[in-house]
Amino acid sequence: MKIGSEEQLKTLLRTRGLRFTPDRLRVFRALADTPQPLSVPALINIVAPDGVNQATVYRTVEQFLALAVVQTVLLHDGVVGYELVPPFSSHHHHFICLDCGNVQDLPADRVDSALTKSLQGLGLKAVGHKVDIYGQCEKCHEDTD
C-alpha cells in the first residue's frame, strides 16, 4: 500500500501544479511510518537528520493540510498533531488511554453509521467527523483490577 500511496501523492501534487520533491516524500513517509499523529516539531526531529529544513516542514505540513493529505489531531497533552487521512491511511478514530496517554487507532465502521443517524433533523449536513474516546486501554484496565 505504501508505494501506491506515494504514487497517489505524486499524482495529487501534479494535478495541482505542485511538485513531487524528495523533501515532501520524506515528510510523507515520516507520517506513514509512524502509528501516532505527529506534531511539527516531532516531524522536524524525524526528517531534519535527512537534511530537511524546518521551514520546509512547516510549509509542507501546511500544503498537505490544504490538499487534505493530512488532518489535525489533538494529542493527549494538548499539542496539535498531524496524521494522514484516507486514501493515504485508513479511516479510523482514536482511543486515548487516560492512564498511560497512549493513543490507539479504532476501526471506524463501528461508530460511523450511528453518528450519521444522530444528526437527522438538525439541518446540518455532515461530510466527516472525528471521534476521540477516552478511558482505560486493556492493559491499564487490568492494572487497576
Residue type, 48: A
Q: Does 5 bind DNA (CB under 7 A)?
A: no
CA angle centred on 78, ends 53 and 131, rounded to 5°: 105
Instruction: Residue 60: name the closest of 93, 90, 29 by CA.
Output: 29
Examine residue 58 and tell whether it contacts DNA (CB under 7 A): yes
Instruction: List contacts with its own copies (CB under 8 A).
Output: 65, 72-74, 78-80, 95, 98, 106, 110-111, 114-115, 117-119, 122-138, 141
Residue carrying C-alpha cell 485508513: 90
Binder of residue 98, out of DNA, its own copies, none (CB less than 5 to 8 A by kind): its own copies
- Count of residues that interact with DNA, criterion CB under 7 A: 26
Residue 40 contact, options its own copies, DNA, none, Cβ 5-8 Å cut-off depending on partner type: DNA
Residues numbered 65-94 forming contacts with DNA, rule: CB under 7 A? 80
Note the residues at the interface with DNA (CB under 7 A). 10, 13-14, 17-24, 39-41, 51-56, 58-60, 62-63, 80
